[in-house]
Amino acid sequence: MKPYEHGGNIYDYREDILDFSSNINPLGAPEWIWEAVKKVDLTKYPDVQYRKLKDAIVEYVGYGKENIIVGNGAAELIHLFVRAFKIKKPLIPSPSFLEYERTVKLNGGEPVYFRLEEEEGFKLNFAKLLSQIEEADALILGNPNNPTGQGVIREEIGILLKKAEILDIPVLIDEAFIEFVKDYKKYEALPLVKKHNKLFVVRAVTKFFGMPGIRLGYGIGSPSLIQKLEEYKEPWTVNTFAEAVGRWLFKDREYIEKTREYVNAEIEHMLFSLRKIDYLVAFDTKVNFILLKLKTGIVDDIKKKLLERGILIRDASNFRYLDKRFFRVAVKKHEDNEKLLNALREITYEEISEDKERVVV
């Protein structure tokens, strides 16, 4: 299997690159974390049960410790879910986060793909998905989805879960970006955990809290589901630094609300501005990244032109069902967003059109 590529790989480029390929909180990590890190005792193992970290998560999500598992980012928990349930044929609405597909294939399976249609704005066709779920032994759903930025409301998720319950299959809902959503309470699946024993909701500190280097994720499920996952989990995958930060992170409500307000104002500004650029199609989004499509030319050309201006974008052509016309950009600080917008305005339709015959459809 060839390696899967992700955003945020700035190490292949110059040091001063402005990275729009990685979709993390533009406000960065809260300042207080440095004080928490200074107090870390590196001479001791982390608590293998992560009791104090789970206490903090309990307060944030409203479930007990028996409902919570922590991991080295959301990615570890996704892999753990597939291993523990021996999943071979999950239904994955796509394009989606590449680790869903990768972990299934690493464990000897082959996903069943549900195609999200461009003509429908990459929104989930709920009725069609319901009819296809019978082909699968699990459902893995990004909500909101990466790279499309679309979400599924909780009422629809509830109907999917009832169907999954009839089929007796587990469901993973990846909510790594849920806190960015303006009206997130309409979308989050947390209240459904108490009703569905095989629902696993995964979240991450990486994106919303602006700390991909910390590598901290957590999952919420029924006690029986969490116990099953714990049986397959390696010990101490969350290091002492991540544990220390996580104990305090979820208490910072001011940071959480400030981020949500800032990002959603920038989303509106960027969508409005991007849609004035004649060679681009900008798709709606509920989170801190925007999927774009070139009306002419290919992403290699615009990526090169932007790199010359010190800006890195995410080539989205390795996402299933997307081609060389698609790329993704993060929503960053206003001044950085303006640099991207100005750079895109400088590039003309004619420049992009020079290579339109190279488009891969």
Based on the domain organization, do 309 and 195 belong to the same domain? no
Closest to 281 (Cα-Cα) out of 290, 117, 43: 290
> Does 8 have pLDDT greater than 90?
no
Based on the domain organization, do 283 and 245 belong to the same domain? no
Sheet containing 289-294: give its strands across.
280-282, 289-294, 326-330, 314-315
Based on the domain organization, do 218 and 195 belong to the same domain? yes
Domain assignment present for residue 3? The answer is no
Domain assignment present for residue 338? The answer is yes
Cα–Cα distance measured from residue 334 to residue 337, given in angstroms and rounded to the nearest whole number: 5
Domain assignment present for residue 112? The answer is yes
Domain assignment present for residue 5? The answer is no
Based on the domain organization, do 207 and 283 belong to the same domain? no
> Does 14 have pLDDT greater than 90?
no
Instruction: Please give the pLDDT value at position 34.
Output: 84
Instruction: Please give the pLDDT value at position 204.
Output: 93
Instruction: Please give the pLDDT value at position 239.
Output: 93
Residue type, 34: W
**pLDDT (mean) for 277-297:** 96
Sheet containing 199-204: give its strands across.
68-71, 217-221, 199-204, 171-174, 138-142, 90-94, 112-115
Based on the domain organization, do 131 and 210 belong to the same domain? yes
Based on the domain organization, do 270 and 300 belong to the same domain? yes
Domain assignment present for residue 272? The answer is yes
> Does 11 have pLDDT greater than 80?
no
Based on the domain organization, do 224 and 284 belong to the same domain? no
Range of the domain at 177: 33-251
List the CATH number of the domain containing 198: 3.40.640.10
Split at pLDDT 50, 70, 90, the class of 325 is very high
List the CATH number of the domain containing 292: 3.90.1150.10
**pLDDT (mean) for 265-290:** 97
> Does 357 have pLDDT greater than 90?
no
Q: State pLDDT tens for residues 54-86.
A: 999 999 999 999 999 999 999 999 999 999 999
Based on the domain organization, do 263 and 214 belong to the same domain? no
> Does 186 have pLDDT greater than 70?
yes
Cα–Cα distance measured from residue 269 to residue 86, given in angstroms and rounded to the nearest whole number: 44
Phi, psi (degrees; rounded to nearest 5) at 96? -155, 175
Instruction: Please give the pLDDT value at position 109.
Output: 97
> Does 360 have pLDDT greater than 50?
no
Given 226, 251, 276, the domain boundary residue is 251
Given 251, 274, 303, the domain boundary residue is 251
Domain assignment present for residue 4? The answer is no
Weakest-pLDDT range from 204-213, 215-224, 227-236, 256-265: 204-213
Based on the domain organization, do 263 and 234 belong to the same domain? no
> Does 6 have pLDDT greater than 60?
no
Based on the domain organization, do 203 and 97 belong to the same domain? yes
How wide is the angle at C-alpha 100 spanned by C-alphas 150 and 102, nearest 5°? 140
Domain assignment present for residue 301? The answer is yes
Based on the domain organization, do 165 and 269 belong to the same domain? no
Based on the domain organization, do 37 and 184 belong to the same domain? yes
How many structural domains compose the chain? 2
User: How many C-beta neighbours within 10 Å does residue 258 have?
Assistant: 13
Given 220, 251, 282, the domain boundary residue is 251
Domain assignment present for residue 1? The answer is no
Instruction: Please give the pLDDT value at position 13.
Output: 58
Split at pLDDT 50, 70, 90, the class of 10 is low
